[in-house]
Structure 1
Amino acid sequence: MAEQPERAAGKASPHESARKHVCGSARYIDDLPVMPGMAHIATGKSPHPHARITHLDLEHVRRYPGVLDVVTQADIPGKVDVAPVFDGDPLLAGEVVEFVGQPVFAVAAVSMEVAQRAVAEARIGYEPLPAQLSIEDALAADAHVLPPHEMRMGDVSAEISAAPQRLNGELYVRGQEHFYLEGQVGQAEPTEDGGIHVIASTQHPTEIQHLVAEVLDIPFNRVVAEVRRMGGGFGGKETQAGPIACMTALFAHRLGRSVRYRMPRRDDMVQTGKRHDFLNRWSVGFDDQGVIHGLDLMLAGKCGYSADLSQGIVDRAMFHADNAYFLNTARIEGLRCRTHTVSNTAFRGFGGPQGMMAIETVIEDIARATGQDPLDVRKRNLYSPGRDETPYGQTVEQHVLPELVERLEADSDYRGRRAGIEAFNQKHRYLKKGLALTPVKFGISFTVKHLNQAGALLQLYTDGSLMINHGGTEMGQGLFTKVQQVVASEFGVSRDQVMVTSTRTDKIPNTSATAASSGSDLNGMAARDACQRVRGVLCEFAASEFGVEPDAVRFERGLVVIGEREWTLGEFAELAYTHRVPLFATGFYRTPKIHYNREEGKGRPFFYYANGAAVSEVTVDTATGEYRVERVDILHDVGDSLNPAIDIGQIEGGFVQGMGWLTTEELLWDNQGRVISNSPSNYKIPTAGDVPADFRVSLYDRPNNEETIYLSKAVGEPPLMLAISVWAALRDACAATTRYRFSPRLDTPATPERVYWALRECETFNLEGHSGGHG
């Protein structure tokens, strides 16, 4: 007999498309065959951040050789607005443009090159209007895309006033370009019944289906949105893929032919939203031990010209402004600032990282003010039994962090290395080392309650093979692999017997986006429910056919076992089929326990928390600000891992992406509202050379205390925030030049230039007569 499969879930298995990725056979949208007569799209874009269109002459565009069609807003048959939640995102601009790069018209031509050349033939007149380009501009103008929101716990003013020590501070946290390897792309083909089949690179197929139907003014059931895989998403394909799909569908509908729109990288970097910039300001009261008594915090997000997902993003920044720390008394205000720049959108962490940066800066400043190691201040403020209510009223029930931090502190030899670093810094004038250990507590669930649901469709064939379809999308993170493992485990077969198929709206309707780190939680549970339904009818059949109790039927080792009798799964499926037993089922899951009253700012928005901690060590050249990340130690909580290999890969990738956000990826606009970090030559994502040479990742082996899929925990977003330890280590190295009496302001990204000016701030501190110096 062949070797029997072990339980698939929990094994360090390779990604289901890994071999195809490596050898190039994995098919992305731009790899699909070009259909005969296929049209390609380009858009004409606004050169102004805010202006009124005075005239629009597109005759030369229409007459350009190879042009098939030209559309403006007036040519859209249905709904003009393609906003995901709140109105404000027209597919094409109307009378007014509101950011540099906003599409004014679109061209379909025989090739992308022809379409791009034709666009340049447009004659458009503009009347410039006043523009708000920064958070400060928006605050001064009281310009918001949505009303402010507040969370409050206790009498903050009284606690801060009565505290033995007080500090005020400010930090500017810049945004981040998604820079997925596969840019925004979509393809549409008309169907014989007057509908549209859209193949999209999107994290949200149902949103694509709905938007396309609304733009074309046809029922949802005439639109099928399909996604097999994305070459990266990171939140950038949650809402930003919508206009791409709608544009292809509009032209396909008008021309009666296939249409593809592959947005060039530079257009992508100009026309699509990014991670929000945040301006964070605070006042904090604390005691001589560094324990926080009260915090008053403002979080102001740069939303761009429209709301997009900014309500949820700024809310999540507020939810995570405590990070891992009990705040005792707090007032957290979230502002959604309206600027005449591209509308910012979801990015891995969804506002959480920006909120965490605020509290980690506060902790660092308290440590320097009280003369303590920041780790000791962090540990004193960690959530613990009796100090476990968040500012939004949720109780932290699983106290992972104190033990996790202690273990990482010991495993990384934090104290011994701290002593060695201080000795090194005393001996070296121009090189300073920094060390920091920072924790992460990240809430798992969509903060909009109804999004926490998922469906799945399972089919068992008479040869024993299984096909599973679910509402989640694969963007390289391994969701399909984990769902495949779940199905294989439920039937006791090998992964090879399970096929996970493209996500399609005609198989699973009304899906939520694959976001909020909830892909495996939601879709894994829905797939398991479908499996249990099919197993249930098979067990009932066995009970009636063989006179046994249903629970006497076992699915294991690739077999169906009833007492001493054994069948392969295929043999038993064939037997059940001949007795007219249904071999398919839908599964469904909705996350329990969660609720949030936005008016009161209280509730339980998260099902559970994922946790982690990282220790980073850096060396800084104090003469130039250049630095190197020497070593990183990570201990991360993924519950009972569904796939340790994929989880470790996600932790490593998330950390490096977070390190890029905080150190090298400088997202900049000029004073005319133009994105000037608009290509790989002037926007620096991390390379293989930036990955720490000594990079140690371990999983914290403790099951989830909530009933998730096999007691696992989400892993997609939380690791990104472990990279805050790199920023904190850089600040620690700068503080070393003052003998740790002063922490300079270090806005992000902490580029060598910013580190240089932080070091000069430390020099000023020393020159003003404070104790300190280079040593």
Structure 2
Amino acid sequence: MNQDFSPDRAACGFARDIPLVLDAGEAAALRAGARVGISAAHESAHLHVAGAAPYVDDVPEAAGTLHAALAPSPVASGVLRSIDRAALLAMPGVVAVLTAADIPGANDCGPVIHDDPILADGTLRYRGQPVALIVATARDLARLAAARIGPCLDIEPATPVLTAREAYARGDALLPPASLIRESAPGALTAALAAAPHRLGGQFSLGGQEQFYLEGQIAYALPTENQGLRVLCSTQHPSEMQHLIAHALGWRSHQVLVECRRMGGGFGGKESQSGLFACCASIAAARLGRPVKLRLDRDDDFIMTGRRHPFEYDYDVAFDDDGRITGIEATLIANGGHSADLSGAVMTRALCHLDNAYYLPEVAINGFVARTNTQSNTAFRGFGGPQGALLIEIVMDRIARHLGRDPLAVRRANFYGVASRNVTPYRQTIEDNVVAALVDELVAQADYQGRVAAVAAFNRSNSVLKKGIALTPVKFGISFNVPHLNQAGALVHVYADGSVLVNHGGTEMGQGLNTKVAQVVADALGIGFAAVRCSATDTSKIANTSATAASTGADLNGMAARDAAMTIRNRLADFAAARHGGEAADVQFANDVVRVSGIALAFATLVRQAYEARVQLWSDGFYATPKVHWNPKGLHGRPFYYFAYGAAASEVIIDTLTGEVSLLRADILHDAGRSLNPAIDIGQIEGGFIQSMGWLTTEELVWHATDGRLLTHAPSTYKIPTANDCPAALHTRLFDNPNTEPTIHRSKAVGEPPMLLAFSVLLAIRDAIAATGGPGADPDLRAPATPEAVLDAIASLDAIRP
């Protein structure tokens, strides 16, 4: 039973009178001194709800601040011959007009391959590409001048390539094609496909997704002494911003300090693509010797930045009478946009997640990243994993309908095993598989079988409204694809009054990372949450950080912060034992009290004593994820430290006359290991589920078929989910499953894996559409399943009806 554990509110770090709701187990753990596994409120929650949490644009502007805007290309492909800078400089308030020729260092912001110019260098690659940086005395004046750049441009237009299929047919790739192949013997896949009792082939189309962070892209660059810059930036990767800025200016990294206190959302869109805006603000500030702020409005953010990669699929699958797959060949075609960005790693993760929770004995998966004249697509929550895993779920559904079997039975027949059938296509042995047990628990929790019968009964008696239900599993690998990125550092300072300041290399974007890290440090030192504060992420404190991405934020930074905190705790234990007697190993830290040789000292008292005895009360910490390794050429190894599991059952209703879809109920059971903070983890799970549901149902991106204009570039034309799209019945529980690997307190990541849970919504929609046809009906439904797509899928069944 949940209870309000008000007496310990202050110990839990609430600056205001906000109740803490804990279940009985959490309350007992808190009384015993635990600070992890507790549903502590987000450390900035009281600031968020009061509108008092400062973001980059809330920082008071320094005297002399100028404002910048980026002037976009009016064509999707062509050659830029010249820009009439004099006409732009004559516009009100304009101070400077900078072009590619004014960049003192590298005109590049590509995170991996140097193929992404900061400002167009003569070749125009997509409609909206920045061709010039306008700096003015006011933001509106800079934007006005940027909007009027069209007549100032001399352009020779060319015909753009706008779809991945067209680029694939032309063989126009941003990267060399990749293939992940595993066969029991040469030619085994071909033989399996030829000899199978059943075989299905087809194509599937999956759209992209806009990150739609509430705080748009922004950077504020302030010159400092001796040719230096302090850059406030909304970014998931401060170190990369530091390096890109230094390269663009021809400087060394130590001349650039990048700081990020918090972001108003990121979702991957601020991992690499914040670089363009950080570089532009910095180039202008360094050239003019004045502070420069660059903040995009929503429309410009849409037309200048990339998003989740749309995918096209071709597949051929062989299976037996039970629906068990004997072989599969698939080609994944990603629309990379005009530059590589992070597309190589996104495709690799897609290839490594096509299996999802299923054993594939003979497999060949080919990946092609298409070059198109559109925005360069980039990281998005899941980072290719959802695009890879969705295909196998579509295949499972088609197999079940072909055989006339329960889709869940087909899925169970293909689940990875525990002692056998447990090697992935990329040759990692699965050592922590709980998917079957988790699914069994959810089936009982959601009354899945009873509701399948109820849905069938409803459909028999309703001709216009149809219901559908589906249950899909999740297996998601946790770690960066690139092994060297799996590292983190932290600094912990204990002040003489017993308060603690933590700085780590992760960034806070609303996901609760700082809250979890503070909990870890509080637990390590045996003190209350109120005594611990996390400072802004700062490249002058923690160097060479990895992006806060790949769901590794708490795994990496929590371990690094704990390492630093335990070093200080051990020093304090040694000091306490030396001063008061006993053994350091017997000194206890809990509930702000240190117990040594029968003496109880307040933590702050011991700290003061240690300070006066000249004991070092600060420490750095470091963590590198063990075991991960990867062969990027052969596409095999152990790319993931562990797997997170989950499952969701969703029930929908569709109107066959309008194509409208409503999600009636969703039941989620998700594996967060031994959760550091159950409330935050459940919030992340439900948020990821709804965000993914939006991707698969309403968030449709549309480009003009000939000129490359993005037509869905604002909330008026691009529909993200709202509170009204959430089901009235949303039941979310955490699966009891401590991590088998020694992660931070045996927890598991919850950032990206929940994105796969909403597959159940799309498959439930397929189920409802199939109910409009006869036995074995297999609708041709694309994603997102907008009303138009639903009606098209119903029509596809009508077309084959006798």
1:161 aligns to 2:194 (yes or no): yes
What one-letter code is carried by the residue in structure 2 that aligns with 1:94? Answer: D
1:678 aligns to 2:707 (yes or no): no
Secondary structure at the counterpart of residue 41 of structure 1: strand
Greater mean alpha carbon deviation, residues 332-341 or residues 27-36: 27-36
Secondary structure at the counterpart of residue 676 of structure 1: coil
2:546 to 499, 512, 518: 512
**Partner in structure 2 of residue 109 of structure 1:** 136
1:311 to 326, 344, 348: 344
**C-alpha contact (below 8 Å) 1:215/1:250 kept by paired residues:** yes
1:287 aligns to 2:316 (yes or no): no
Q: Deviation digits for residues 687-741 of structure 1, max 9, x if unmatched?
A: 1100111111011011000010000000011111101100000000111122440
1:47 aligns to 2:74 (yes or no): yes
**Partner in structure 1 of residue 94 of structure 2:** 67
**Partner in structure 2 of residue 717 of structure 1:** 752
1:455 aligns to 2:484 (yes or no): no
Task: State the alpha-carbon separation in 2 of the partners of residues 230 and 687 from structure 1.
Answer: 21
Task: State the alpha-carbon separation in 2 of the partners of residues 256 and 561 from structure 1.
Answer: 56
**C-alpha contact (below 8 Å) 2:568/2:617 kept by paired residues:** yes
Secondary structure at the counterpart of residue 146 of structure 1: coil
**C-alpha contact (below 8 Å) 1:435/1:617 kept by paired residues:** yes
Secondary structure at the counterpart of residue 801 of structure 2: helix
**Runs of at least 5 residues in structure 2 that lack an aligned partner in the other structure:** 1-6, 12-29
Q: 1:373 to 1:740 in 2, by over 3 A?
A: farther
Greater mean alpha carbon deviation, residues 97-106 or residues 734-743: 734-743
**Partner in structure 1 of residue 220 of structure 2:** 187
1:221 to 250, 254, 266: 254
Task: State the alpha-carbon separation in 1 of the partners of residues 315 and 665 from structure 2.
Answer: 32
Q: 1:741 to 1:444 in 2, by over 3 A?
A: same
The within-5 A match list for 1:691-706 is: 691-706=726-741
Q: CA deviation at 1:567?
A: 1.4
Task: State the alpha-carbon separation in 1 of the partners of residues 697 and 251 from structure 2.
Answer: 47
**C-alpha contact (below 8 Å) 1:58/1:121 kept by paired residues:** no
**Partner in structure 2 of residue 665 of structure 1:** 699
**C-alpha contact (below 8 Å) 1:464/1:568 kept by paired residues:** no
1:554 aligns to 2:583 (yes or no): no
1:486 aligns to 2:511 (yes or no): no
**C-alpha contact (below 8 Å) 2:525/2:566 kept by paired residues:** no
Task: State the alpha-carbon separation in 2 of the partners of residues 356 and 246 from structure 1.
Answer: 35
1:399 to 422, 433, 451: 433
What one-letter code is carried by the residue in structure 2 that aligns with 1:27? Answer: P
Task: State the alpha-carbon separation in 1 of the partners of residues 232 and 459 from structure 2.
Answer: 57
What one-letter code is carried by the residue in structure 1 that aligns with 2:293? Answer: R
**Partner in structure 1 of residue 510 of structure 2:** 476
Task: State the alpha-carbon separation in 2 of the partners of residues 505 and 34 from structure 1.
Answer: 21
**Partner in structure 2 of residue 241 of structure 1:** 274
What one-letter code is carried by the residue in structure 2 that aligns with 1:77? Answer: P
**Partner in structure 1 of residue 790 of structure 2:** 755
Task: State the alpha-carbon separation in 1 of the partners of residues 591 and 41 from structure 2.
Answer: 20
1:738 aligns to 2:773 (yes or no): yes
**C-alpha contact (below 8 Å) 1:434/1:729 kept by paired residues:** yes
**Partner in structure 1 of residue 332 of structure 2:** 299
**C-alpha contact (below 8 Å) 2:165/2:333 kept by paired residues:** no
1:134 aligns to 2:168 (yes or no): no
**C-alpha contact (below 8 Å) 1:42/1:107 kept by paired residues:** yes
Greater mean alpha carbon deviation, residues 126-135 or residues 711-720: 126-135
Greater mean alpha carbon deviation, residues 505-514 or residues 79-88: 79-88
* Matched length: 766
What one-letter code is carried by the residue in structure 2 that aligns with 1:315? Answer: T
Q: CA deviation at 1:545?
A: 2.9
**C-alpha contact (below 8 Å) 1:742/1:765 kept by paired residues:** no
1:628 to 662, 670, 690: 662
Task: State the alpha-carbon separation in 2 of the partners of residues 602 and 247 from structure 1.
Answer: 39
Task: State the alpha-carbon separation in 1 of the partners of residues 590 and 230 from structure 2.
Answer: 40
**Partner in structure 2 of residue 390 of structure 1:** 424
Q: CA deviation at 1:251?
A: 1.1
**Partner in structure 2 of residue 618 of structure 1:** 652
What one-letter code is carried by the residue in structure 1 that aligns with 2:110? Answer: A
The within-5 A match list for 1:526-541 is: 526-541=560-575
1:503 to 528, 532, 537: 537
**Partner in structure 2 of residue 773 of structure 1:** none
- Identity within the alignment, %: 50
Q: What is the root-mean-square deviation of aligned Cα atoms in Å?
A: 1.1
Task: State the alpha-carbon separation in 1 of the partners of residues 255 and 775 from structure 2.
Answer: 65
1:416 to 447, 450, 455: 450
Q: CA deviation at 1:7?
A: 1.3
Greater mean alpha carbon deviation, residues 252-261 or residues 440-449: 252-261
Task: State the alpha-carbon separation in 2 of the partners of residues 472 and 607 from structure 1.
Answer: 19
Task: State the alpha-carbon separation in 2 of the partners of residues 212 and 92 from structure 1.
Answer: 14
Greater mean alpha carbon deviation, residues 34-43 or residues 351-360: 34-43
**Partner in structure 1 of residue 172 of structure 2:** 143
Secondary structure at the counterpart of residue 80 of structure 1: coil
Secondary structure at the counterpart of residue 426 of structure 2: coil
Greater mean alpha carbon deviation, residues 734-743 or residues 173-182: 734-743
Q: Deviation digits for residues 601-633 of structure 1, max 9, x if unmatched?
A: 211100000010000001111122112110000
Q: CA deviation at 1:184?
A: 0.5
Q: Deviation digits for residues 198-245 of structure 1, max 9, x if unmatched?
A: 000000000011111111111111110000000000000001111111
1:343 aligns to 2:370 (yes or no): no
Task: State the alpha-carbon separation in 2 of the partners of residues 417 and 141 from structure 1.
Answer: 48
Secondary structure at the counterpart of residue 64 of structure 1: coil
**C-alpha contact (below 8 Å) 2:333/2:368 kept by paired residues:** yes
Task: State the alpha-carbon separation in 1 of the partners of residues 82 and 415 from structure 2.
Answer: 60
Secondary structure at the counterpart of residue 507 of structure 1: coil
Q: CA deviation at 1:11?
A: 0.3
1:567 aligns to 2:601 (yes or no): yes
Task: State the alpha-carbon separation in 2 of the partners of residues 424 and 740 from structure 1.
Answer: 16
What one-letter code is carried by the residue in structure 2 that aligns with 1:682? Answer: T
Q: Deviation digits for residues 636-675 of structure 1, max 9, x if unmatched?
A: 0000000000001001111000000000000111121111
Greater mean alpha carbon deviation, residues 659-668 or residues 571-580: 571-580
Task: State the alpha-carbon separation in 1 of the partners of residues 774 and 38 from structure 2.
Answer: 48
**Partner in structure 2 of residue 603 of structure 1:** 637
Task: State the alpha-carbon separation in 1 of the partners of residues 661 and 636 from structure 2.
Answer: 43
Task: State the alpha-carbon separation in 2 of the partners of residues 482 and 393 from structure 1.
Answer: 33
**Partner in structure 2 of residue 357 of structure 1:** 390
Secondary structure at the counterpart of residue 63 of structure 2: coil
**C-alpha contact (below 8 Å) 1:453/1:591 kept by paired residues:** yes
1:10 aligns to 2:10 (yes or no): no
Q: CA deviation at 1:60?
A: 1.2
**Partner in structure 2 of residue 33 of structure 1:** 60
**Partner in structure 2 of residue 261 of structure 1:** 294
Q: CA deviation at 1:120?
A: 4.1
**Partner in structure 1 of residue 354 of structure 2:** 321
**Runs of at least 5 residues in structure 1 that lack an aligned partner in the other structure:** 768-775
Q: CA deviation at 1:353?
A: 0.8
What one-letter code is carried by the residue in structure 2 that aligns with 1:434? Answer: G
What one-letter code is carried by the residue in structure 2 that aligns with 1:526? Answer: A
**C-alpha contact (below 8 Å) 1:738/1:765 kept by paired residues:** no
Task: State the alpha-carbon separation in 1 of the partners of residues 657 and 580 from structure 2.
Answer: 82
Task: State the alpha-carbon separation in 2 of the partners of residues 64 and 431 from structure 1.
Answer: 59
Secondary structure at the counterpart of residue 293 of structure 1: strand
Q: CA deviation at 1:36?
A: 2.1
**Partner in structure 1 of residue 103 of structure 2:** 76
1:204 aligns to 2:233 (yes or no): no
**Partner in structure 2 of residue 771 of structure 1:** none
Secondary structure at the counterpart of residue 144 of structure 1: coil
**C-alpha contact (below 8 Å) 2:580/2:597 kept by paired residues:** no
What one-letter code is carried by the residue in structure 1 that aligns with 2:286? Answer: H
Q: Deviation digits for residues 360-400 of structure 1, max 9, x if unmatched?
A: 11101100111111111011111112111100001111121
What one-letter code is carried by the residue in structure 1 that aligns with 2:588? Answer: R
Task: State the alpha-carbon separation in 2 of the partners of residues 136 and 698 from structure 1.
Answer: 41
**Partner in structure 1 of residue 18 of structure 2:** none
Q: 1:180 to 1:121 in 2, by over 3 A?
A: closer
Q: CA deviation at 1:541?
A: 2.2
Secondary structure at the counterpart of residue 166 of structure 1: strand
